[in-house]
């Protein structure tokens, strides 16, 4: 698939529910090339001021001796002092090649030294080894056309102002312009940086570097052509070594933890070798760690059900592992409706969300996801079972919504990761049954009506039907980049599901929902509008119900 299409990427758990939690992502390309990073050192012979040497005369013996001593001293100068030597690469612990990028804003121009090029050695020159205070670097790779990139780009300036006093530097790197696959112009990149209020350096990719940067995308994306922006590259500036990376738009709290860790307590075992923490903590609640689907110690087969748990704080230092608490809800009949609320205490560092999963043999199907934007305090979500099966509820830390990849030599366990929990990462989960009821206006057959999805609840719209008549009911997103619809047709008289659909034609990119029904008798059916993915960053996502 051509780079530049929007990637509708959601978590998939197989067997032990550990793969990766992939956030909304966009596709794009980008690049980088390596200079050799060596230092050119010129040396001069030290000539004593009292030496009177004519131009054509042979230098005195003491001058020759001094000259040789100076040359010997020059030979001992560290060739990697001006910029770290390799190995350069795109894996964890590799040194960042000394890229040269065109500056597009004032902050970048000030770093460039007058040549309008931001080089990676300009950042290295800010480190303690050169008399500065810089310790960590986030490279935010983005594209003008990507809506999720823009949503995150709006949040970066505040985070930069917060972390910069700790020695954290940011670089905004703009790839594509308004057209996917077409490199942004300097003017478009400058406008982008201004629109999002960046006071940190911004640059635009070069033609020479564009293709090389694909090495930094997740391997599965490179293999499939699904290239995801935004891309986040974390570097320890002390040695210009990669500390972590991931693709997909996230809230800034996902970025804060690893950047603070790099600045304050980088987890290096040796140069180029990262410490990966695998020790699990039991947490402070009633949950049991670790747990995985199929072996879940959390038993929610009798509702209502409550759980006090703990989530791992995300940090690139421990591989951004995913902590899951899987609640076994047992076998549920079609038409079962449950209400899920996850709440956190004041000042908590966790942003948990819940996903609904149906298990059939070795297959795990993600049913309906929660809102994209998370925050402290209660977070509710309602689920309607559209077919009988065994269900689990997975509680996951919402600070992590991205694919994790650290190179081919790092083995990430397939279990639910590990936890360094504590009181700042606790949550409470409450699961209870509820009864469906009309929540929104009726929709007349032959018409369409616009609505919005609020955070947490399903929308229920009644419509009148005539027995023996066939109906096509569609739920269409106003912007498919922001909403992946899910539609259930419910018969309130029989308390039964009459049809359900996620995507009308996923192969063709149509993620709107379509259900066809032919009721046996006159009456009223309900359209239950939900979603398998939604972004609330631009306000509640809009949709239309259309009945034909």
For residue range 61-116, list pLDDT tens digits in order: 444 445 555 554 545 678 888 999 989 988 888 999 999 999 999 999 999 988 99
Residue 42 has pLDDT above 60, yes or no: no
Q: What would the pLDDT profile of 158-174 be if each residue is shown by its tens digit? A: 999 999 999 999 999 99
In the numeric block, the tokens 């032959």 are attached to 446
- Mean pLDDT, rounded, for 315-344: 74
Examine the pLDDT at 41 and tell me if it is beyond 50: no
| Lowest-pLDDT range of 78-82, 146-150, 280-284, 516-520 | 280-284
More confident residue, 511 or 414: 511
DSSP 510: B
Q: Who has greater pLDDT, 24 or 125?
A: 125
Q: What is the pLDDT of residue 356?
A: 84
* Comparison of pLDDT for 314 and 303, the residue scoring more: 303
Q: 281: how many CB neighbours lie within 10 A of its CB?
A: 15
pLDDT at 25 over 70: no
Report residue 319's pLDDT band, with 50, 70 and 90 as the boundaries.
Answer: very low
| Cα–Cα separations (whole angstroms), residue 141 to 234, 443, 472 | 11, 44, 42
Q: How confident is the model at residue 458 (pLDDT cuts 50, 70, 90)?
A: confident
Q: Tell me how far CA of residue 27 lies from CA of 184, 216, 222, 249, 309, in angstroms.
A: 15, 13, 11, 12, 35
8 A C-beta contact, residue 136 and residue 128:
no
Q: Does CATH number 3.40.1500.10 belong to domain 298-433? A: no
The predicted structure's pLDDT at residue 290: 59
- In order of 88, 262, 302, 382, the CA distances from 434 in angstroms are 56, 46, 14, 9
Stronger pLDDT, 232 or 470, i.e. the higher one: 470
Topology of domain 448-547 in CATH is Jelly Rolls (2.60.120)
Q: What is the DSSP letter of 391?
A: E
User: What is the token pair recorded at 220?
Assistant: 């599965």
Q: pLDDT tens for residues 187-244? A: 999 999 999 999 999 999 988 888 888 888 766 566 666 556 888 899 999 999 998 8
Does 53 have pLDDT greater than 50? no
Phi, psi angles (nearest 5°) of residue 172 = -90, 120
134-138, 246-250, 435-439, 469-473: which has the minimum mean pLDDT?
246-250
Weakest mean pLDDT among 96-105, 144-153, 313-322, 518-527 = 313-322
Rounded-to-integer distance, Cα 382 and Cα 339, Å: 5
- Per-residue model confidence (pLDDT) at position 309: 77
- Cβ count within 10 A of residue 390: 14
471 in helix, strand or coil?
A: strand
Model pLDDT, residue 272:
80
Report the C-alpha gap between 489 and 510 in whole angstroms.
19
| 523 membership: H or E segment, kind and range | strand 523-534
Highest mean pLDDT among 281-295, 298-312, 421-435: 298-312
pLDDT over 60 at 450, yes or no: yes
pLDDT for 227 equals 58
DSSP-assigned beta bridge partners for residue 328: 299, 392
More reliable by pLDDT, 136 or 394: 136
Most confident of 7-21, 119-133, 304-318, 368-382: 119-133
Architecture of domain 6-36+84-274: 3-Layer(aba) Sandwich (3.40)
CB 27 within 8 A of CB 227: yes
Q: Summarize the confidence of residues 428-449 as an average pLDDT.
A: 90
């Amino acid at each position: 698939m051509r780079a530049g299409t929007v990637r509708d990427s959601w978590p998939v758990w197989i067997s032990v529910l550990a793969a990766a939690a992939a956030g909304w992502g966009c596709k794009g390309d980008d690049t980088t090339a390596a200079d050799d990073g060596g230092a050119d050192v010129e040396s001069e012979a030290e000539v004593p001021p009292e030496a009177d040497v004519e131009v054509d005369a042979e230098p005195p013996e003491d001058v020759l001796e001094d000259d040789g001593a100076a040359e010997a001293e020059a030979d001992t100068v560290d060739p990697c002092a001006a910029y770290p030597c390799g190995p350069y690469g795109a894996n964890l612990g590799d040194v960042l090649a000394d890229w040269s990028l065109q500056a597009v804003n004032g902050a970048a121009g000030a770093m460039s030294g007058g040549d309008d090029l931001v080089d990676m050695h300009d950042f290295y020159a800010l480190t303690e080894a050169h008399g500065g205070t810089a310790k960590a670097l986030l490279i935010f790779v983005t594209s003008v056309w990507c809506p999720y990139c823009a949503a995150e780009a709006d949040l970066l300036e505040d985070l930069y102002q917060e972390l910069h006093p700790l020695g954290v530097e940011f670089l905004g790197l703009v790839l594509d312009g308004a057209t996917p696959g077409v490199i942004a112009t300097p003017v478009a990149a400058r406008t982008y940086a201004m629109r999002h209020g960046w006071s940190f350096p911004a640059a635009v990719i070069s033609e020479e570097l564009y293709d090389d940067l694909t090495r930094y995308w997740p391997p599965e994306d490179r293999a499939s052509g699904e290239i995801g922006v935004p891309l986040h590259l974390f570097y320890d500036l002390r040695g210009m070594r990669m500390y972590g990376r991931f693709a997909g738009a996230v809230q800034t709290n996902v970025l804060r933890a690893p950047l603070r860790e790099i600045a304050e307590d980088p987890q290096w075992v040796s140069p180029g070798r990262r410490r990966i923490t695998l020790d699990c903590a039991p947490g402070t609640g009633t949950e049991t760690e670790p747990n995985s689907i199929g072996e879940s110690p959390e038993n929610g087969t009798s509702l209502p059900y409550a759980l006090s748990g703990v989530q791992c704080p995300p940090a690139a230092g421990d591989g951004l592992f995913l902590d899951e608490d899987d609640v076994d809800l047992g076998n549920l009949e079609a038409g079962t409706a449950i209400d899920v609320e996850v709440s956190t205490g004041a000042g908590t560092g966790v942003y948990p969300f819940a996903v609904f999963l149906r298990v059939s043999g070795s297959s795990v199907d993600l049913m309906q996801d929660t809102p994209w934007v998370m925050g402290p305090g209660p977070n509710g979500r309602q689920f309607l079972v559209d077919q009988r099966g065994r269900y689990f509820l997975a509680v996951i830390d919402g600070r992590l919504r991205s694919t994790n990849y650290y190179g081919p030599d790092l083995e990430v366990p397939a279990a639910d990761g590990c936890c360094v929990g504590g009181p700042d990462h606790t949550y409470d989960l409450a699961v209870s049954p509820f009864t469906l009821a009309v929540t929104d206006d009726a929709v007349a057959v032959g018409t369409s009506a616009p609505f919005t999805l609020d955070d947490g609840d399903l929308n229920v719209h009644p419509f009148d039907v005539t027995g023996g008549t066939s109906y096509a009911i569609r739920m269409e997103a106003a912007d498919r980049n922001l909403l992946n619809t899910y539609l259930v047709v419910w018969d309130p008289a029989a308390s039964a599901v009459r049809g359900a659909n996620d995507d009308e034609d996923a192969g063709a990119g149509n993620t709107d929902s379509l259900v066809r029904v032919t009721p046996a008798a006159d009456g009223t059916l309900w359209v239950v509008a939900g979603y398998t993915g939604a972004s609330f960053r631009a306000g509640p996502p809009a949709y239309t119900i259309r009945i034909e």
